[in-house]
Amino acid sequence: MKPNRLNRMAVLVISTMSLAGMSIPANAQQQPQEEQKQLHKQPQQQEPSQKQLEQDQKRQQQQEQKRTRQQAQEEQKQQEKQSQEKERLQRQSEEKQKRQEQQQQERARQQAQEEQRQQEKQSQEKERLQRQSEEKQKRQEQQQQERARQQAQEEQRKQQKEAQEKERSERQSEQRDERREREAEQQDRRISRQQQQQLIHQQQEEVKQYRRYLEQQESRAREQAEELRRQNRLAQYRYQEEYLEHLRQQQRRLRDERFDYDRDPYFYAAPIYRYRRGGRYYEINRYGANVLRQALHAGYAQGFRAGEADRRDRWRAAYRDSYAYRDASYGYRGYYISRSEYNYYFREGFRRGYEDGYDSRYRYGRYANDNYFMSDDILSQILNFESIR
C-alpha cells in the first residue's frame, strides 16, 4: 500500500511543477525558494492524508478482520451450538433409547416374573391335584383294604362257624358210628390182653409225638402265611388260615381230652381187614379202617379247597407247595393209626381233590351237605381192603 501512495504523491508534485512552469515562465527563477517551500509544504500537507488513508485502511482491515473474527466466532459459536444441540439430541436419543431398553427390560422382567408366577401357580396346582389324586387313591386303597379285611374277617367267621358246625356234625356222626361200632364190637373177636397193652403203649407214644408236632407247626405256618401274603395269593392265604384254625382246635381237643384206653374197642378188637401199601400187607380192625377212610375224605376236601384257591389267585397248579399237603394232619385225632399212616392217605386224597378243585370238576369226588367227599369207587380202589375173616 505505501509504494502506491508515494507514486501518487510524486505524480502530484510533477504535475504541479509542470503547471507552474507553463503559467509563470518570467519569474521562474525568482520563485525557486518559494516553490521549494511549497514543495516542502505539500508533502507535509499530503502526509496526514496518507496516514489517514493508511489508518482508515488499517481500521477497515481491523474492522474487516474483526468482522471476520466475529463472523468466525459466530460461525464457531453456531457450530458449537449445533454441536451442543447435536450432542443434546444425541443424548436425548441415547437416553430415550436407554429408557426404551430399560422399559423393554422391565417389561421382559415383569413378563418373565409373570410367567414364573404362572408356572409356579401351575406347578402348585399340579402338585395339589397330584396330592389330591394320591390321597384319593390312598383312601380308595385303604377303603378297598378295609373292605377286603372286613370281607376276609366275615369269610373267616363264616368259615369258622361252618367249620364248627361241620365239626359238630362230624362229632355227631362219629358218635353214631361209635355207637354202631360198640353194638358191633360184641361180635368182634377180641385180642389178648398183652396185645391190647402193647397197642395202648404204642398209642400213648404216638399221642405224645403228635402233641409235640402240633406245638411246632405254628411258627412254620406263620412263615408260609407271610410268603402267601407277599405273593398276593389272598384266596390261598384265607384257605390256609382256615386250615390252621382247625389244627389249633385239634390241638386244644387233644390237650383237653381224657382218653379211656381200656374201654375203647379199638384196643381190644381183632383185625378184620388187610390192605397193601408200599409192597407190604397191613392188618387193621374196623375202627382203624374207618380212620383211613376219613383221611382220604379229609384229604380230598382240603385238596379241593386248596386247588380252588390257587385257581382264583391265577396261580400255577402245584399241590406239593401247599402247607396242607405237607402237614397232612387235618382231622387226625392222634388215635388208632400212626400219623405217618394218616399222612399217606390224606395226601392221596389231597392230590386228587386238588386236581378237581383247580380244574373245577368232580372226577375223583362229589359235593354233598356243604362238603367234599371222595367217591366210593376211588376210595375202594385206593384202600382195597380184603376181609381176613
Contacts of 317 (CB under 8 A, 6+ apart): 307, 310, 354, 355, 358
Gyration radius (Cα) of the chain, Å: 70
Strand partners, 368: 371
Q: What are phi and psi of 237, to 5 degrees?
A: -65, -45
Please, what is the Cα angle at 166 between 238 and 252, to 5 degrees?
A: 75
How large is the average pLDDT for residues 18-29?
A: 46
Distance between CA atoms of residues 160 and 244, nearest Å: 11
* H or E element in which residue 374 lies: strand 371-374
Distance between CA atoms of residues 257 and 38, nearest Å: 189
Which of left, alpha, beta for 278 (phi over 0: left; psi -120 to 50: alpha)? left
Q: Does the pLDDT value for residue 129 go beyond 80?
A: yes
Distance between CA atoms of residues 371 and 350, nearest Å: 14
pLDDT at 189: 58
The amino acid sitting at 317 is: A
**pLDDT tens digits for range 282-322:** 888 888 899 999 999 999 999 999 999 999 999 999 999 99
- The three three-digit cell numbers of residue 72, written as one number: 468466525
Sheet holding 280-284, edge to edge: 280-284, 273-277, 386-387
Distance between CA atoms of residues 319 and 306, nearest Å: 8
Q: pTM, whole model, 2 decimals?
A: 0.51
Q: Cβ(361)–Cβ(291) under 8 Å?
A: no
Which band of pLDDT confidence, cut at 50, 70 and 90, is reported for residue 35? Answer: low
Distance between CA atoms of residues 102 and 370, nearest Å: 89
Q: Does the pLDDT value for residue 184 go beyond 80?
A: no
- The three three-digit cell numbers of residue 304, written as one number: 379241593
Which band of pLDDT confidence, cut at 50, 70 and 90, is reported for residue 57? Answer: confident
pLDDT at 20: 44
Strand partners, 277: 280
Helices (H), the chain: 2-23, 32-185, 193-230, 234-256, 286-312, 323-327, 339-359, 376-383
Closest of 242, 247, 241, 253 to residue 213, by C-alpha = 247
Q: Does the pLDDT value for residue 366 go beyond 90?
A: yes
